[in-house]
Structure 1
Amino acid sequence: MSDASSPVVWFEDLRRVDVAKVGGKNSSLGEMIQTLGQQGVDVPAGFATTADAYWNYVDENGIRAAMTELIGKWTSGKASLPETGEAIRKLFLHGEWPKATADAILKTYHELSKRAGRDNASVAVRSSATAEDLPDASFAGQQETYLNIAGEASLLDACRRCYASLFTDRAISYRQTKGFDHMKVALSIGVQQMVRSDIGGSGVMFSIDTETGFDKVVLINAAWGLGENVVQGTVDPDEYQVFKPLLGDPSLRPIIARKRGAKAIKMIYGTQDQPTRNVPTSKAERAALVLRDDEILKLARWAVTIEHHYGCAMDMEWARDGDTGRLFIVQARPETVQSNREAAVFKSYRIKSKGKTLVSGLSIGDAIISGTVCLIDSAKDIDQFIDGSILVTSTTDPDWVPIMKRAAAIVTDHGGRTSHAAIVSRELGLPAIVGTGNATHLLHTGQEITVSCAEGDEGQVYEGVADYAVETLNMDDVPETKTKVMLNIGNPGAAFRWWKLPADGVGLARMEFVISNAIRIHPMALVHFDRLKDEAAKQEIAAITAGYQDKPAFFVDQLAEGLSRIAATLYPKPVIVRMSDFKTNEYAGLLGGAEFEPDEENPMIGFRGASRYYSPRYREGFALECRAIRKLRNELGFRNVIIMIPFCRSVSEAQKVLQVMAENGLRRGEDGLQVYVMCEIPSNVILAKQFAEHFDGFSIGSNDLTQLTLGVDRDSGDLAELFDEQDDAVKWMIRSVITEAGKAGAKIGICGQAPSDHPDFAKFLVDCGIDSISVSPDSFVAVKQKVAEAEGKGVLAASLRASAGG
């Protein structure tokens, strides 16, 4: 137990109410040790100096008046920020420790070393400002942290430098912007036993999706070595996402995304004069993921525990000891960006036309902006930055904040979603693309570009000024409807953007989008990898599937995880996943695909959909699709997924497909599995009653149904005027199948483009009695309003008929 009058306090004696005493960082560490240790959350031991100790240092060295005078000269314009910061830091660095404070620090340090079982234990020395981590200010990276500090002299020197770091240029500027009184903010020093992550791994974790605010996922970044490289953005880390609602079931492994980062360097222990240093990682380290599945799940469960305890989304740092393999949480603070966004309103950005892609990386935010590049190599060249330009640089640290505030957008070579560039960009509300790898080599000052963060996890830098649309969606304007309005989602990377929409589920998730973008390899080329004749394709496939001895397993894992992000977005509402619906020419375009596809004159009505699934040409590929769905439902836990079979021409074909699915572990009705069929061929309408005996529901594909009803190739420019989804013949087809489905007790919806392009079409569908309408997310609000209007008119008309009849 710590002495109440002591200048130091053990973490175990602190609670989160002690912010004024030891700052947000240290009070939070104490809170976790006291309350969450018994729930299995491991936090390294340590102690903190108090705010009183800081002020005692200031007054014992007689520097309070000088600090006040220097700040006053700066705020009145008589001195520059660099001059002011340097002068105040010198006051601290040249100061002497009050004997009582130094004795208390060293005595407690030796006790900490004794507890650790070694002399002069290695510690992390962290800064914790007494005003930090407030709801509208994170103070992320504003003060310094010193790692691998050992010995009395080194410890006191690091503590002195922590005090001085309260007045770095960036910290002074940040406080001034946020309206904090410089002379009322104190600094507490946290001295924490080092976790040997220099020979293990470390990273950052959020209990919320950092870009969209989606509150049902944990985001984890990981790299080899000490964690400063991840925080600073000098390394491109691994990234994992875990779905929180399914973490409570120990039989499930709801890891919905794994992305291997380059991890080109790692920070390790150095010498006493230079306690840490960066070294290149080995080829094996770059090729491997830092965390095993069990470690990912353990960290995610800790994130949920910590979030639940604090009652808000959290930003955490973790480390894994390379000696013991134990995981630790070394820091936790409230997330301050997404938590403060207005929930009811968000903007939707959509690219209409664009130039060629110049570079790509991780998207931060969801906006699009065009502008002129200003390439800056060093923060020392701040005077060269042109206000309103797009900042392009290798990486950023807190010294870059003054430039970043003046930028329209930011593009960096290095960094992950939890890097400094990403955190500050979010806080400033700027779109950013980080971890491009080569932006500083391919872009140049004065070049016009468009930065797009609106197309999913991957952000794109396009040449020139793109044409894009911005729409503001207000959730307060969305009425309730009896007819379900669902979403069409193809891109897993963009799915989380739409989690706030009060949609009734996903009416169409396109499997082929995941295959063409995340996998890029023909499934049969993975099944028969060894017999591929195209050596160039074989080498590229080998590179993409590195780490997979079992090549087909790559397809299964990537497809299951890609679809899981869509299934998670509106969980537990239904998500209808359409099995692959490529045409043969599209399949042939996949890596290795040309060796397995026939050459057809008209692929649009050729070897596609259900006919492929039982054919010897593709049956093994379809088996991989089934394996992915099994993993998605049974291992990841997304039982809300419904399967949909496209382009099923006959009832006998339906029976064949269902049999092949059953042979691959997907039996209709087992474990609640529902199977729908696309209604896009006239035979589906004509024999709707018979099809309903084999399927749980129908989804009308209005594009193909229009094409085959009217005999018009939907891709024909010459016949474009004849292609009309609202043609009377097409409407007759739609009305007929809705009626027959209703009689058979089968669900029926529409996932074609018509309701998205023509919201008035919704009235016709409502009048027919359709169960659900699935639309593109950007037209959801408009369609929902049209449906409500149609339903209201329907009620009014029925009421008037009843009155007339009476």
Structure 2
Amino acid sequence: MSAPLETIFFDDLRRADVALVGGKNSSLGEMVQTLGSMGIRVPPGFATTSDAYRRFIEANGLNAYISDTMAAHAAGKIILHKAGADIRAAILGGDWPAAAEAAIRDAYRKLSDRAGQTDLAVAARSSATAEDLPDASFAGQQETYLNVVGEDAVLVACRKCYASLFTDRAITYRHLKGFDHTDVALSVGVQQMVRSDIGGSGVMFSIDTESGFDKVVLINAAWGLGETVVQGAVTPDEFQVYKPFLDRAGVRPILERMLGAKEIKMILAGADDDDPVRTVPTSRAERGRFVLNDDEVLDLARQAATIEAHYGQPMDMEWAKDGNTGELFIVQARPETVQSRSDAGALKSFSIGDHGKTLIKGLSVGEQIATGRVCLIDDVADIDDFVDGAILVTSTTDPDWVPIMKRASAIVTDHGGRTSHAAIVSRELGVPAIVGCGNATHVLHDEQEVTICCAEGDEGFVYDGIADFDIKELDLDHVPQTRTKVMLNLGNPATAARWWRLPADGVGLARMEFVISNAIRVHPEALIHFDALRDPDVREEIETLTRGYADKTAYFVDKLATSLSRIAAVAYPKPMILRMSDFKSNEYADLIGGREFEPHEANPMIGWRGASRYYDPAYRDGFRLECRAVHKLREEMGFDNVLVMIPFCRTPEEADRVIEVMAEEGLRRGENGLEVYVMCEVPSNVILAEEFAKRFDGFSIGSNDLTQLTLGIDRDSDKLAPLFDERHAAVEWMIRTVIDKAHAAGVKVGLCGQAPSNYPEFAQVLVDAGIDSISVTPDSYLQVKDHVAKAEGG
């Protein structure tokens, strides 16, 4: 190689050069050489070599000193803190060999000349030769120094990077992973600074960090330099993008936009400051808007997909946005080391039972549940006070905290996002964590008994006391094949990705009302008629929720479409059958602003619900918003696997009126593959099945309501509970009859409900009747699949 042995420019490095320049720098060189023409932008730079490190150590006589010091620590003669401090001091006091110093100065001058500057501001990033490996990330173990200016300053920063190879955290991590301290060398990447101090930066993964869902890109973003995101000192914005649609023209597949608090930012310091960077509070305006616009989110996601495709594995990347030019750069890329190595054959499902009051909330990491006593640690200097097996509660973590994080049963932090240090390490350790709570260290106290629940979606909950919870392990290695399709009932977008590994035939029932009540929370008519609302408290609450939306109805459409897209993404390309809103009037009234628009009904269960609302002038405009969200989901976001289902449609004439409103909003049956189904839950759906079959592509039997209305039993009545039975002969007659009539008319029939999992004989009835599909909750999927396979074989 023509470059000097002590330094090599990124242009001359490849992925195979890990032994020479470490994982980080070899990866930067790989991207510069091979991906620049594909739109991947990497700031220019050079790397010092592992040979330069070893020559530095050897020239200062440090080999024996390091070995003797580590041996003394291993023998218990000196504590870890002193061993690390002594070695670091020895390295920082060392002198550069003449050849290495000259090579670094020369490379820095050349890099400055390339940028057209005399003394270029650079970042000095540590890159160990045992780093970014498939089973060991070494994330954040060594130091990075930002805004380094001048030859002398670069030499000092490189020496500091060498010393950081022997921080307490780095020594501990190597010990945990079985690496000999003398076998690891360090390279330093000297890279042109991106002016993200006046722009933004963050971290992204080409895989969902919680579920391992491999079709999304997760992006975190904060203002200023990226160290705040990596360290978990800030709660960032979060975006999810669906990778398979990134190359589709005219499609914008952003599944989620979540505004983070972004409490602080790291910026470059002034010329008179001792530290080259400083941390300052963000403005109210910065906290209230996203760091990235949609075009930038999609640009980053495409870069992530390109990098993943080139490396052939899920990747963990850092990015930066230059505030002057608006350009987006990749400043680091390494293999993802947790989800990509998880056992795909087994799936553990945690579910919470009875629990105490909610104490705090945050972002969930780990999809598990843990119980125990709180151990509140404010400062890393106090980690010796940690009690093994306790729940660690602190403001934020960095690699110095790893020794106690591995001894914790769960972790809770005030700050940080899903790509923060606390989140990354907790995943690697298999420990549940709740990050970005904001006030955990103020609300929780030492020895308090709590439950940490990360099993309810994106949001994690700390409950008071020791709660009941259940763990199921699903074996996906032996799933029988069936002619009858077995699909999933899903309502919560936040937990949908958990089930992506189930080999289901799609989503047979997605409940729109769950999204409206949990993500949107506002009655659609209250958004349409906001200016006429009488209650000032309701107006204020709606103003807060719709912040950033000039048109309040756009909030409803956007939130509904993006939330539902997370379910559609898990199903794609298999169908997702979306049931339009099926609240009863008393449930609609509980939405924010709902009481001004809903009547009081004596029996809402058979009152103004389902199809009867959709064409009624009192709700028709609300239904139009639902239709616009579905249109956006299918046409703008690309999820043409979404099919529509109309609930509680009592008559064929009512169906005609609903279909007409849908068509006015661009949802026309048969156009772009759109199918429209009807719930079969009213006896008239069976009696007039031939007429309904002319208007719909299929029926979905709602066994609970059909049983209730066939037998005339209130399903919520304690007195009548013994009589409520989906297996009753009358209900079975209804099911067999509608299947026969539907098939005679050439349309499909499915059933959504728990009966096939609760009663194996009910699955036999459905299979014998010729049902086309059965849709069940994910945790009962394998059980029902087995029941159906046996029914088909018998």
Q: Which bracket does the TM-score occupy, shorter chain normalised?
A: over 0.9
What is the match of residue 188 of structure 1? Answer: 187
Q: Secondary structure at the match of 2:563?
A: helix
What is the match of residue 70 of structure 2? Answer: 71
Letter in 2 for 1:129: A
Q: Secondary structure at the match of 1:466?
A: coil
What is the match of residue 560 of structure 2? Answer: 559
Q: Deviations over 1:231-267 (max 9, x none)?
A: 0000000000000111111210000100000001110
Deviation at 1:390, TM superposition (A): 0.6
Give distance in 1, aligned partners of 2:354 and 2:777: 18
Deviation at 1:759, TM superposition (A): 4.1
Give distance in 2, aligned partners of 1:179 and 1:98: 31
The reply on whether 1:750 has 2:751 as its aligned counterpart is yes
Q: Deviations over 1:82-116 (max 9, x none)?
A: 01100110111111111111111111111111111
Give distance in 1, aligned partners of 2:12 and 2:521: 55
Deviation at 1:537, TM superposition (A): 0.7
What is the match of residue 33 of structure 1? Answer: 32
Partners of 1:3 and 1:9 within 8 A in 2: no
Give distance in 1, aligned partners of 2:463 and 2:481: 39
What is the match of residue 650 of structure 2? Answer: 649
What is the match of residue 264 of structure 1? Answer: 263
Give distance in 2, aligned partners of 1:271 and 1:30: 31
Partners of 2:202 and 2:230 within 8 A in 1: yes
Letter in 1 for 2:158: C
What is the match of residue 490 of structure 1? Answer: 491
Structure 1-normalised TM-score? 0.98
Q: Which runs of 5+ in 2 are unaligned?
A: none
Letter in 2 for 1:380: A
Give distance in 2, aligned partners of 1:759 and 1:243: 37
Equivalences for residues 622-637 of structure 1 within 5 A: 622-637=623-638
Partners of 1:699 and 1:751 within 8 A in 2: yes
What is the match of residue 678 of structure 2? Answer: 677
Give distance in 2, aligned partners of 1:470 and 1:332: 35
Give distance in 1, aligned partners of 2:477 and 2:404: 37
Deviation at 1:383, TM superposition (A): 1.5
- Cα 1:760–1:390 shift into 2, 3 Å: farther
- Cα 1:759–1:542 shift into 2, 3 Å: farther
Partners of 2:751 and 2:775 within 8 A in 1: yes
Name whichever of 651-660 and 739-748 sits farther off: 739-748
Give distance in 1, aligned partners of 2:352 and 2:30: 46
What is the match of residue 388 of structure 2? Answer: 387
Partners of 2:484 and 2:767 within 8 A in 1: yes
What is the match of residue 9 of structure 1? Answer: 8
Partners of 2:757 and 2:787 within 8 A in 1: no
Give distance in 1, aligned partners of 2:660 and 2:740: 28
What is the match of residue 137 of structure 1? Answer: 136
Q: Secondary structure at the match of 2:132?
A: coil
Q: Secondary structure at the match of 2:300?
A: helix
Q: Secondary structure at the match of 2:182?
A: helix
Give distance in 1, aligned partners of 2:160 and 2:705: 69
Deviation at 1:75, TM superposition (A): 1.2
What is the match of residue 332 of structure 1? Answer: 333
The reply on whether 1:735 has 2:736 as its aligned counterpart is yes
Q: Secondary structure at the match of 2:477?
A: helix
Q: Secondary structure at the match of 1:312?
A: coil
Letter in 2 for 1:363: S
Letter in 2 for 1:580: S
Partners of 1:703 and 1:753 within 8 A in 2: no
Give distance in 2, aligned partners of 1:458 and 1:691: 41
Percentage of identical aligned residues: 68
- Cα 1:477–1:617 shift into 2, 3 Å: same
Give distance in 1, aligned partners of 2:453 and 2:76: 39
Letter in 2 for 1:669: G
Give distance in 2, aligned partners of 1:636 and 1:648: 29
Give distance in 2, aligned partners of 1:32 and 1:138: 19
What is the match of residue 512 of structure 1? Answer: 513
Letter in 1 for 2:641: N
Partners of 1:756 and 1:776 within 8 A in 2: no
Give distance in 2, aligned partners of 1:120 and 1:13: 23
Structure 2-normalised TM-score? 0.99
Give distance in 2, aligned partners of 1:415 and 1:738: 53
Q: Secondary structure at the match of 2:353?
A: strand
Give distance in 1, aligned partners of 2:220 and 2:127: 23
What is the match of residue 279 of structure 1? Answer: 280
The reply on whether 1:433 has 2:439 as its aligned counterpart is no
Name whichever of 292-301 and 759-768 sits farther off: 759-768
Give distance in 1, aligned partners of 2:693 and 2:336: 49
Task: Figure out how many residues of one structure are paired with residues of the other and give that number.
Answer: 792
Q: Deviations over 1:35-74 (max 9, x none)?
A: 0001111000000000000000001111110000001111
What is the match of residue 707 of structure 1? Answer: 708
Equivalences for residues 292-303 of structure 1 within 5 A: 292-303=293-304
Deviation at 1:702, TM superposition (A): 0.6
What is the match of residue 763 of structure 2? Answer: 762
Q: Secondary structure at the match of 1:714?
A: coil
Give distance in 2, aligned partners of 1:30 and 1:716: 69
Deviation at 1:634, TM superposition (A): 0.2
Deviation at 1:306, TM superposition (A): 0.3
What is the match of residue 51 of structure 1? Answer: 50
Equivalences for residues 219-230 of structure 1 within 5 A: 219-230=218-229
Q: Deviations over 1:435-482 (max 9, x none)?
A: 111111111111111111111111111111111111111111211111
Q: Secondary structure at the match of 2:696?
A: coil
Give distance in 1, aligned partners of 2:277 and 2:110: 24
Q: Secondary structure at the match of 1:552?
A: helix
Deviation at 1:76, TM superposition (A): 1.6
Give distance in 1, aligned partners of 2:574 and 2:728: 33
Q: Secondary structure at the match of 1:353?
A: coil
Deviation at 1:5, TM superposition (A): 4.3
Q: Deviations over 1:382-401 (max 9, x none)?
A: 11111000111111111110
Partners of 2:4 and 2:103 within 8 A in 1: no
What is the match of residue 803 of structure 1? Answer: none
Deviation at 1:760, TM superposition (A): 3.7
Q: Deviations over 1:306-365 (max 9, x none)?
A: 000000000000000000000000000000001111111121111122222111111101
Q: Which runs of 5+ in 1 are unaligned?
A: 794-806
What is the match of residue 321 of structure 1? Answer: 322
Q: Deviations over 1:257-281 (max 9, x none)?
A: 0000000111000145211111111
Give distance in 2, aligned partners of 1:597 and 1:304: 47
Partners of 2:263 and 2:281 within 8 A in 1: yes
What is the match of residue 155 of structure 2? Answer: 156
What is the match of residue 524 of structure 2? Answer: 523
Q: Deviations over 1:523-582 (max 9, x none)?
A: 000001111001101101000100111000000000000000000002100000000000
Equivalences for residues 384-463 of structure 1 within 5 A: 384-463=385-464
Give distance in 2, aligned partners of 1:679 and 1:40: 51
Letter in 2 for 1:534: D
What is the match of residue 368 of structure 1? Answer: 369
Give distance in 2, aligned partners of 1:434 and 1:677: 42
Equivalences for residues 655-670 of structure 1 within 5 A: 655-670=656-671
Letter in 1 for 2:442: H
What is the match of residue 799 of structure 1? Answer: none
What is the match of residue 694 of structure 2? Answer: 693
Give distance in 2, aligned partners of 1:210 and 1:159: 32
RMSD: 0.9
